[in-house]
């Protein structure tokens, strides 16, 4: 089966600019996650979707981050405006049910200068 | 929030050696997972553990879910150069959402 697809692979922006990341989960996977992985650390959950509804966004900095999953398939994560500390790899993951292991994409490496 | 302490932070070993790494938690988990991450890629699931005391193998990898449900370990036997990478433990404490808490990872380097 095809894996989780993410784009772009790399993005370099200046602080205060905006950026968007796209994720296409594994076909049929109802649950989608966005994780932030800062260099040297493990992934940290930003937001979890079940179909097109948000299950958990408690760690999403909502003043600058937003995410949507229209039609319960693809998802986009946006940062506006970006800060230097947002430099990280943004990983998308999906699972076929709420208690199944996650399958990760290769991530988008964001550098904010 | 929940925290996972993963150790060691890094390991430098010779090809053929066995490796052991572990994770401890301040709270109980219902599921323990072990992932491996290669440079420029996302984490890949190695082993999933669902029951206290469970011992599961995947090739040269063996992982155990601690009896107290607050710890887990991963062993790699007869290491090879392609074992190089970062190994993460992750735990799930239950509930209607599958919120994983990740450790900070163990960087494994294998000398050929």
Interface of B with A in 41-80 (CB under 8 A): 41-45, 48
How confident is the model at residue B78, as a pLDDT?
A: 97
pLDDT in tens, A81-113: 999 999 999 999 999 876 788 899 999 999 999
CB contact under 8 A, B42 and A99: no
Nearest Cα neighbor of A68 from A58, A59, A57 is A57
CA distance A18 to B80: 43
Residues of B in contact with A102 (CB under 8 A): 45, 98, 100
pLDDT in tens, A59-73: 999 999 999 998 889
Secondary structure of residue A86 in the 3-state scheme: helix
Residues of B in contact with A99 (CB under 8 A): 31, 92, 98
Secondary structure of residue A84 in the 3-state scheme: helix
B112 in contact with chain A, both atoms CB, cutoff 8 A: no
How confident is the model at residue A16, as a pLDDT?
A: 97
How confident is the model at residue B97, as a pLDDT?
A: 65
Asked if residue B13 has pLDDT above 60, the reply is yes
pLDDT in tens, B52-109: 999 999 999 999 999 999 999 999 999 999 999 999 999 988 766 667 899 999 999 9
CA distance B52 to B55: 9
Q: b/e for A52-86, b at 16 or more Cβ within 10 A? A: eeebbbeebeeeebbbebeeebebebebeebeeeb
Residues of A in contact with B30 (CB under 8 A): none
pLDDT in tens, B36-50: 999 889 999 999 999
Residue of B5, B21, B31, B43 to mutate, testing the A interface (most A Cβ within 10 Å of its Cβ): B43
Residues of B in contact with A103 (CB under 8 A): 45
How confident is the model at residue A101, as a pLDDT?
A: 84
Mean pLDDT, residues A25-47: 94
Q: How much of chain B is in helix, strand and coil states, percent to nearest 5?
A: 5, 55, 45
Tokens of B66: 């601690």
Mean pLDDT, residues A30-59: 93
**Which positions ≥6 away from A16 have C-beta within 8 Å?**
A81, A82
CA distance B28 to B102: 14
| A31, A50 Cβ separation under 8 angstroms | yes
Tokens of B101: 């808490």
Interior angle at CA B43, CA B40 and CA B47, nearest 5 = 150
Q: How many CB pairs below 8 Å do chains A and B form together? A: 57
């Amino acid at each position: 089966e095809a894996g989780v697809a993410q784009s772009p692979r790399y993005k370099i922006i200046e602080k205060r600019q905006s950026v968007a990341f796209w994720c296409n989960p594994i076909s049929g996977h109802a649950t989608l996650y966005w994780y932030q992985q800062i260099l040297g650390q493990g992934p940290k959950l930003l937001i979890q979707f079940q179909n097109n509804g948000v299950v958990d966004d408690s760690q999403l900095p909502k003043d600058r981050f937003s995410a949507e999953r229209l039609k319960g398939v693809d998802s986009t994560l946006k940062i506006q405006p970006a800060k230097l500390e947002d430099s990280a790899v943004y990983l998308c993951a999906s699972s076929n049910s709420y208690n199944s292991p996650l399958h990760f994409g290769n991530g988008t490496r964001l550098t904010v200068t | 929030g929940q925290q996972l302490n993963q150790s060691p932070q890094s390991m430098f070993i010779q090809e053929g050696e066995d490796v052991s790494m572990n994770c401890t938690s301040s709270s109980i988990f219902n599921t323990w997972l072990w992932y491996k991450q290669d440079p420029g890629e996302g984490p890949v699931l190695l082993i999933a553990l669902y029951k206290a005391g469970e011992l599961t193998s995947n090739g040269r990898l063996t992982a155990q879910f601690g009896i107290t449900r607050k710890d887990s370990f991963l062993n790699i036997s007869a290491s090879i150069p392609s074992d190089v990478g970062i190994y993460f433990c992750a735990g799930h404490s239950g509930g209607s959402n599958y919120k994983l808490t990740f450790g900070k990872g163990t960087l494994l380097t294998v000398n050929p």
